[in-house]
Structure 1
Amino acid sequence: MGFLTRVIVSLTALALLGGCEQHDAPPLDQQLYVWQRQWTPAHDAALRESRADFSTLRVLALQAFPQAGWSRARIDPALLKRDGRRLIAVIRLDGQLQSLDQDEVMEQIQRLISDWQGKGLTLAGVEIDHDAGNARLPAYRAFLAHLRSAMPAPMALSITALPAWLDSPELPVLLSTVDSSVLQVHAVSDPRRGLFDSDLASQWAMAWSRITSKPFFLALPAYGVALLPSVGGAPIVESEVAIERNGKRRELLADPLQLSKLAARLRADPPAHMAGLIWFRLPLANDRRAWSLATLRAVSRGDVLESHLALNLSEHEGLHDIGISNEGNLDNAWPERVTLAVQGCEGADALAGYTLQQEPNLLTFTRLRDGRIAAGGQRAIGWARCAIIDQGASNVHP
């Protein structure tokens, strides 16, 4: 082989190697909605434990409803100040409002900004959450243009946006009036069709990327709701606040495995202009309809999701407390059945949510209703006063 030929072969090999080299996509920005109307001591731990994984907090700050008027969320400014992350105040303007009074809304927002700044909080931006119908988008665009001109220049203006707006020719002009948009792809259809559809979310994100020239984020669900029956109409949706109503509840929960796959696809090949993901919502320790923070963090990081249910026994003077722990990073349903191999039992009983069937050498705890054990959490299911409980011969049946 001549010198020139060897050079050509070497260059060709280098070119092929360069073409095959794997380049990791830059990580998508991950943010959180904080959507509780009244803050509690549980916010302290939730903020501390979420700080390493989520860059920005979008905090429900102010709401306007047709009859109830204006109300502010009762935040804890000291916690937010200590947290130190980028902070965006979200103003929720109910979609049933007949019209938006520009002067009144502007006055409310300016007062909010002034009050938060007076408490030592630095706002990076304001987000308007308004479910305007397509016919009202021209008026909404004019409102946003007025708001943008009245806001301090360094403060960004964003909006929550709906996939239904993709059908409106007004959308490109509307998006040009704000600094960024947040496309909500959960709870946007008839609730009887489900809370979230991964394929539709991908389609909407791609369509959005072709229309906007500004950065946009995808708002993804990390929660569940319950549907309550109503008389002759759409079901009533129960979310964070319990609703006193009879009838069977149909629980809908966003699937962490499905969301993890979608997030992985978006990280590998993000649509044009997509700047990141915003998860709804910051989970508190007592939030029964949100993913645990452990699961949310695992999904946002792209970790492999797994749950592992284990039997927990603690004994004191012959009395055994019986429980189940979830040693994985994925929330899991209560096990359907738990069987314990026993000897010499004087008594036993199940706790709420389970029933007990007792045989001479076997205790069987059977689930009566649905529930979840958070990743890293545990749940007591009963007790037994037995001479021997053989944990090795006992089983947890998912």
Structure 2
Amino acid sequence: MKNKSFAMALAAFFFACLFSLPPIVFTDPPAGILPTSFYVWQRRWSEDVVNAVRRSVGDADGYQLLVSEIALSPSGALTHTDFHPRWDVLAESGSELTIVIRMDVSVIRMLKRKEHAPVARLIGKIADAAIVAGTHDGATVRGLQIDCDCPESRLDEYGELMTELRGDYATRRLSFTALPSWLDSADFPALARTADYYVLQVHSLRRPETVDTPLTICNTEQAEEDVSRAERIGLPFTVALPTYGYLLIFDEQGQFAGLRAEGDPISLREGFQAHIVLSDHVAIADFVRRMRSRPPRNCRGIVWFRLPVESDELNWSWMTLKAVLDGRTARESCAAEIRSPEPGLYELWVINTGERNIPGKVEIDIDPLPGIRFFHDLLGEFVEIDAIPAGTMRLSGPVPAIGDPVPAAWFRVAAADSSNFPHPVSIEHVRIRQ
């Protein structure tokens, strides 16, 4: 009985925490200052994710955390898949925490039928459970955000759902993600007034027709126009900028055949080709500098989609994002070095010494030292290409990831020569080709 009474008292305490925060008051940031937040979009919090959060703490004013995805099943029932952040790690950060619920566009069918109540109840159930879990581990959730690519024709019904949530979460920062096309809708200002702010997503990838179609994830000139339109609406917003990329697949005729996002396996059919498109760190860094020099009216900050994690393949490295946050263009450079793991054996290693993972090639020019006899072979994806002047060996291969040097070739020197020379070749030039 004592245990039961204690459990009931503990539950009452946690649920009291759901409504114990003071009302939120927004103020414009000081000139030149735009708070920085990061989306953490991983469904499983591996040690890589934990390390990424801890590494970013000094630059984070907030984190926006995916906690659930809801959708309609083929039978029309509401379903949800929940994810569980490491609240103990987030509590250590001291940053503002916002939970994000991703709502599939299929759920809009219920809103169209004026069935807002069951959707709001499910969102509330998920949000309350996340808030309680965070409180248990010492983390305070200050915000709730809904992420949905709602059709423009249904923004009024979406607003009715947000109004219902506003009543339930009056002491939380309520927000939603918004597409730039929504800004022209007559229904958008009313929708925006249901929330404390909206997140203007100025990133997307248009479907390419062919392999020659120019690709960009964030057109910063268009983004600047979108931000100006948001300013004119006169309601609080933040701007979401991208760090991610895609691997695009094209068929034998060069026609678009599909794409791969982070974590999705891929197996290319014969004759198909793949191209990687990443967010342009140079253009985005310049865009951020312009925003900071004159913060847009009613803009409450920049949120990055998404926080780089060491195991990401199609995302900026943390060093790239850190350079952009510092107002710089990320440095690009590679180096090569000779290592000798044992007498007579030499290896050529390539190292990414820059601040960016590059989907390009690195070329290394090496000259054999005269008078040394050796055998050699290439490693991994490195190949030997024609070089000028004659006698120079030019190797080409993928630029390695930051922190992950790769061997490009090995050289075996005759025993008689191994004691007379430090290594059989000299490195002349290392260059990046994109």
Query: Structure 1 pair 332/221, CA: closer, same or farther in 2 (3 Å)?
Result: same
Aligned equivalent of 2:110? 99
Deviation at 1:242, TM superposition (A): 2.1
Which among 394, 404, 408 is matched to residue 381 of structure 1?
Answer: 408
Which among 275, 290, 300 is matched to residue 325 of structure 2?
Answer: 300
Aligned equivalent of 1:38? 44
Deviation at 1:114, TM superposition (A): 2.5
Deviation at 1:80, TM superposition (A): 1.8
Aligned equivalent of 1:364? 394
Aligned equivalent of 2:94? 84
Question: Partner letter of residue 378 of structure 1?
Answer: P
Which among 330, 341, 352 is matched to residue 380 of structure 2?
Answer: 352
* Aligned pairs for 1:130-141 within 5 A: 130-141=148-159
Deviation at 1:268, TM superposition (A): 0.9
Question: Partner letter of residue 383 of structure 1?
Answer: W
CA contact (8 A) 2:38 2:63 kept: yes
CA contact (8 A) 1:32 1:57 kept: yes
Deviations 1:97-126 (A, max 9, x none): 333522233223223322332333210111
Question: Partner letter of residue 61 of structure 2?
Answer: S
* Aligned pairs for 1:99-118 within 5 A: 99-100=110-111, 101-118=119-136
* Aligned pairs for 1:72-221 within 5 A: 72-97=82-107, 98-100=109-111, 101-151=119-169, 153-187=170-204, 189-190=206-207, 193-214=215-236, 216-221=237-242
- Give 3-state SS (helix, strand or coil) of 1:394's partner: strand
CA contact (8 A) 2:380 2:407 kept: no
Which among 288, 297, 310 is matched to residue 285 of structure 1?
Answer: 310
Deviation at 1:127, TM superposition (A): 0.9
Q: Residues of 2 paired with 1:346 and 1:332: CA distance?
A: 32
Q: Residues of 2 paired with 1:300 and 1:323: CA distance?
A: 31
Deviations 1:329-353 (A, max 9, x none): 3433454421211233533222222
Deviation at 1:365, TM superposition (A): 1.8
TM-score (norm. length: structure 1)? 0.84
Deviation at 1:374, TM superposition (A): 4.1
Deviates more, 1:50-59 or 1:70-79: 70-79
Question: Partner letter of residue 105 of structure 2?
Answer: G
Question: Partner letter of residue 428 of structure 2?
Answer: S
CA RMSD of aligned residues (A): 2.7
1:249 aligns with 2:244: no
Deviations 1:205-251 (A, max 9, x none): 1101111322x1111111111123589x9753311122344332221
- Give 3-state SS (helix, strand or coil) of 1:51's partner: helix
Aligned equivalent of 2:345? 319
Query: Structure 1 pair 364/229, CA: closer, same or farther in 2 (3 Å)?
Result: closer
Deviations 1:145-179 (A, max 9, x none): 1001011x331111111111022101111101100
CA contact (8 A) 2:145 2:177 kept: yes
CA contact (8 A) 1:349 1:382 kept: yes
Query: Structure 1 pair 353/162, CA: closer, same or farther in 2 (3 Å)?
Result: same
- Give 3-state SS (helix, strand or coil) of 1:279's partner: strand
Question: Partner letter of residue 81 of structure 1?
Answer: A
TM-score (norm. length: structure 2)? 0.78
Deviates more, 1:53-62 or 1:64-73: 64-73
Query: Structure 1 pair 326/243, CA: closer, same or farther in 2 (3 Å)?
Result: closer
- Give 3-state SS (helix, strand or coil) of 2:110's partner: coil
CA contact (8 A) 1:294 1:376 kept: no
Deviates more, 1:216-225 or 1:68-77: 68-77
- How many aligned positions are there? 370
Query: Structure 1 pair 139/235, CA: closer, same or farther in 2 (3 Å)?
Result: farther
Q: Residues of 2 paired with 1:139 and 1:61: CA distance?
A: 24
Q: Residues of 2 paired with 1:148 and 1:283: CA distance?
A: 32
Deviation at 1:261, TM superposition (A): 0.6
Query: Structure 1 pair 131/372, CA: closer, same or farther in 2 (3 Å)?
Result: farther
Deviation at 1:199, TM superposition (A): 0.6
Q: Residues of 2 paired with 1:357 and 1:385: CA distance?
A: 21
Which among 242, 259, 283 is matched to residue 237 of structure 1?
Answer: 259
Q: Residues of 1 paired with 2:404 and 2:80: CA distance?
A: 38
Q: Residues of 2 paired with 1:248 and 1:137: CA distance?
A: 39
CA contact (8 A) 1:335 1:396 kept: no
Q: Residues of 2 paired with 1:50 and 1:391: CA distance?
A: 41
Deviations 1:72-115 (A, max 9, x none): 12422232222332111111001233335222332232233223
Q: Residues of 1 paired with 2:263 and 2:183: CA distance?
A: 32
Deviations 1:289-326 (A, max 9, x none): 11110110110110243222111222232322222223
- Give 3-state SS (helix, strand or coil) of 1:332's partner: coil
1:54 aligns with 2:64: no
Q: Residues of 2 paired with 1:295 and 1:67: CA distance?
A: 40
CA contact (8 A) 1:351 1:382 kept: yes
Q: Residues of 1 paired with 2:141 and 2:53: CA distance?
A: 17
- Give 3-state SS (helix, strand or coil) of 1:182's partner: strand
Q: Residues of 1 paired with 2:124 and 2:90: CA distance?
A: 24
Deviations 1:56-77 (A, max 9, x none): 1111111113339311124222
Q: Residues of 1 paired with 2:364 and 2:60: CA distance?
A: 37
Which among 245, 259, 262 is matched to residue 284 of structure 2?
Answer: 259
